[in-house]
Structure 1
Amino acid sequence: MYNAVFPLLQMNPMTRLLLLLGLAFTSVARAEDVTDQRAEVLALGQLTDPPATIDAEGFDNEAGIRAIYFDGLDYEGNPTKVFAWLGLPADRTGKVPGIVLVHGGGGTASRQWVEKWNEKGFAAIAIAHEGQVERREAKRKWAKHQWPGPWRRGHYLDVDKPLEDQWMYHAVADTILANSLLRSLPEVDEQEVGVMGVSWGGVITSTVMGIDSRFAFAIPTYGCGQMADVDNHWGASLGGNRFYREVWDPVHYLPRAKLPTLWFSWPEDQHFPLDSQAASYRAMAGEYMVAQLPGMRHSSAAAWNPPDSYAFAKGVVRDGKPWIRQQDLRRESQTLEAVFASSKPLDRAVLISTTDTGFTGSRNWLESPAELEQRDGQWRVTATLPQDTTACFVNVKAGELTASSDYIEVKPEGSPK
């Protein structure tokens, strides 16, 4: 700091004043630039007109599910289309709820995922956000169609391009357009359309849920915000990425997210740590629930197969809120107490904790007993923390369903708060 300031002090007063004014102007201009860029991102929420569609040829359209393309935004001056699977429940009476499904890195729009939600009574549209279809070509890559937009370059490595040509800009726009399309169908209740994304799709979901206020619920799975300083490949790539920090980090938009949300993951995830996920759900304005499934693994099937996402969505469209909500969470010395309001009877509770430090996905997480009692219409969980606990949360079970308390970190006794 001394070496940087000393030359400034040696300048004549007028030169020093001009330099300081220039630095101040640059700082203000940069702040205005960031504000404008965020405003452009938020403007994507105005894509409320349903896009035009055409059938995608060469795909099996049986069982009420069909392959389509819908119009996306222009990319580098050229029109684009988005491949998607669109399906309605076979057994339905009146209008049905719906969901937009957003795949993870290396994936594509999945017919199977649409089928699973159709079986649960939801209309569903699964989109492919890198110009690909659900068909393998040489080297087992997904085949590209003839109207692609941008593809994902690593972790926001395309921020050198104009905002409107960046992949995340198009991924968010595609998700919003899919919402507009699904809501326009006469069979769908436009007030009951949600969004679920897995991994990179979870990042997209974490971003879009603060931009498109029409979504009735959200299920970001694994993916979240505040990833620039994470001690893994995300932090290594994003640590110096100013554009991510100032424009694309979902935490900038989550305070606008008022919709019921399920943050769905597992403590051993190697990509998205629990502290970043916690920072994301604490940033949002709406009610949320958390479900951490030990041993869940990180994959599309691991996200689709458990009953938790479907039960959450059904609870929201039926009751307007998650089936369970954390009412209180407090720690007194070595005791952790969590209080839940639940529309389902709870069977048992466990404490999940670690004595390790560092990246949460690399820590050893242990289960230990917790007491569960129902009192005054609420469910109270009490657990004793093992010695030297560094982080913890409690899980409660209602049959096959899991709900978790917020993640908390425990500082050693005597450490500064």
Structure 2
Amino acid sequence: MAFQASTSVEAEGWQHNLRAKLVELLGDFPGKRCELLPRVTETREFPTYTRETVLFQSRPNMTVFGYLLLPKDFETPGPTILCLHGHGRGVDDIVGIQEDGTMRTEYGEYQNDFALQCVDRGYAALAIEQFGFGHRRDDVACQRGAGNSSCQPSSGAAFLLGQTMIGWRVYDAMRSLDYLSTRPEIDMNRIGVMGISGGGTTTFYSAAIDERFKAAVVSGYFNTFRDSILSISHCIDNYIPGVLKYAEMYDIAGLIAPRAMFVESGTEDTIFPIDATRFAFDQAQEIFRVFGAEDQLGLEVFEAAHSFHGVGAFQFLDQKL
């Protein structure tokens, strides 16, 4: 199902077919969405923003934990970014919460508190805990310490059920949009999604599947399956059984067109080789071109290892949202 269309009409038909196949490969989604049952469990005031701890139900008996960050000067309804963390301590690590519960005084760690950066740029941010991390991991991982995840057993369980961890996390992202739609502060026509590493993975597939996302920032992930996921050892949560029988990563990027996607990657990233990122971006550009959407695709390469950069990315979001 690699991209071969030469007109926008052909391309739209291709998108429809590949998107349906991708959902199938991810393990499909529930036919009926359960009630969200949302609640706010804590509200904290900071000098420039308010942070709400929120819970809502994604599937029956599966609760999503997250933080809704609202700038003090936010003009409602306003633009919002769904923020998806990568491997590490989980969602706390992108909202400035240190392991001892205190707040960092400046952006830190490889993810650089990008949810707080969103707030500082004037966006509301919903930062959710990805399944298998932080507040949503098993007891064994909790006993091993803050930086340990339960990706391995949880992803294995998903495979046994004919599903995938990526599919579970994408569905949480989709239900996050359902939650945001209940909040009067949020402009649902200006929703972006942003993630680094494993969060970049979920960002990429969520934007490819759910067209409510108007812009996606994929940090430290976009590459080729051939040069990264297939060739370099990765956490099991990166794998989609059978995907290479149908499409490469740049084909899947074409499911986002003509909506906006920005890619950033470090030159010293050892798990997502930069030459393959450049190659995949060039291939994706050809697909966006057929849609007449070349200006909806952006790339920034920066001199660093696997980390969140966020320079060109926020300039891009400011234009698109």
- TM-score, with normalisation over the residues of structure 1? 0.54
Deviation at 1:241, TM superposition (A): 7.6
**How far apart in 1 are the matches of 2:272 and 2:156?**
19
Structure of greater Rg: 1
Relative to structure 1, is the Cα distance of residues 267 and 123 closer, same or farther in structure 2, using a 3 angstrom cutoff?
same
- Match in the other structure for 2:80: 98
Which secondary structure state, in structure 2, belongs to the residue aligned with residue 168 of structure 1? helix
Distance 1:211 1:242, change over 3 A: closer
Higher relative contact order (CA 8 A, sep 6+): 2
Counterpart residue identity of residue 22, structure 2: R
Structure 1 residue aligned with 2:301:
292
**SS state of the match for residue 189, structure 1?**
strand
| Selected match of 2:200 from 180, 190, 202 | 202
Cα–Cα, structure 1 residues 122 and 275, in superposed 2: closer, same or farther, change >3 Å?
Answer: same
Q: CA deviation at 1:116?
A: 2.5
Task: Check 1:47–1:128 CA distance in 2 against 1; reply closer, same or farther (3 A cut).
Answer: farther
Distance between the aligned counterparts of 1:68 and 1:62, measured in 2? Answer: 15
Letter of the aligned partner of 1:202 in structure 2?
A: G
- How far, CA to CA, are the matches of 2:185 and 2:240 in structure 1? 44
1:314 maps onto 2:318 in alignment = yes
Q: Partners in 1 of 2:30 and 2:215 — Cα distance?
A: 16
Give the number of aligned pairs: 264
Alignment equivalent of 1:167, drawn from 162, 165, 168: 165
Equivalent positions of 1:159-308 (< 5 A) are 160-164=159-163, 166-230=164-228, 231-234=231-234, 242-246=241-245, 250-251=249-250, 253-258=252-257, 259-281=259-281, 282-283=283-284, 285=288, 286=293, 287-294=296-303, 296-299=304-307, 303=308, 306-308=310-312
**What is the SS of the residue equivalent to 1:271?**
coil
CA contact (8 A) 2:44 2:51 kept: yes
Deviation string, structure 1 residues 25-68 (Cα, Å, up to 9, x no partner):
xxxxxxxxx997634359659988983312346xx633311111
Q: 1 CA distance for matches of 2:190 and 2:19?
A: 32
Percent of aligned pairs sharing the same letter: 20
Maintained 8 Å contact 1:84/1:126: yes
- Taking a change above 3 Å as real, the CA distance of residues 45 and 121 of structure 1, as seen in their structure-2 partners, is farther
Structure 1 residue matching 2:160: 3-state secondary structure:
coil
1:127 aligned partner: 128
Aligned ranges 1:27-106 → 2 under 5 Å? 38-40=22-24, 41=26, 44=29, 51-56=36-41, 61-63=44-46, 64-74=50-60, 79-106=61-88
**Contact kept in structure 2, 1:53 and 1:68, CA below 8 Å:** yes
Q: CA–CA distance in 2 between the matches of 1:158 and 1:244?
A: 19
Question: Which of 140, 143, 146 is residue 145 of structure 2 equivalent to?
Answer: 140
CA shift, 1:160, in A, is 3.6
Is the 8 Å Cα contact of residues 82 and 194 (structure 2) preserved in structure 1?
yes
Deviation at 1:255, TM superposition (A): 2.1
SS at match of 2:86: coil
Q: Which runs of 5+ in 1 are unaligned?
A: 1-33, 145-150, 318-417
The AA in structure 2 aligned to 1:277 is T
Question: CA RMSD for the aligned pairs?
Answer: 3.7
> 1:291 aligns to what SS in structure 2?
strand
Q: Which runs of 5+ in 2 are unaligned?
A: 1-17, 97-112
Greater share of residues in strand: 1
In 2 relative to 1, CA 297–91 (structure 1 residues): closer, same or farther, beyond 3 Å? same
Change over 3 Å in CA distance of 1:48–1:35 after alignment to 2: closer
Structure 1 residues 243 and 161: CA distance shift in structure 2, 3 A: farther
Using a 3 Å threshold, how does the CA distance of structure 1 residues 208 and 241 change in structure 2: closer, same or farther? closer
User: Structure 1: how far apart are the matches of 2:175 and 2:277?
Assistant: 26
Supply the distance in 2 between the matched residues of 1:268 and 1:159 (Cα, whole angstroms): 32
Letter in 2 for 1:274: I
Change (3 A) 1:156 1:275: farther
Aligned-partner SS, 2:300 = strand
Deviation at 1:105, TM superposition (A): 1.6
Letter paired with 2:45: E
SS at 2:176 equivalent: helix
Query: Whole-Å Cα distance in 1 between the matches of residues 145 and 55 of structure 2?
Result: 22
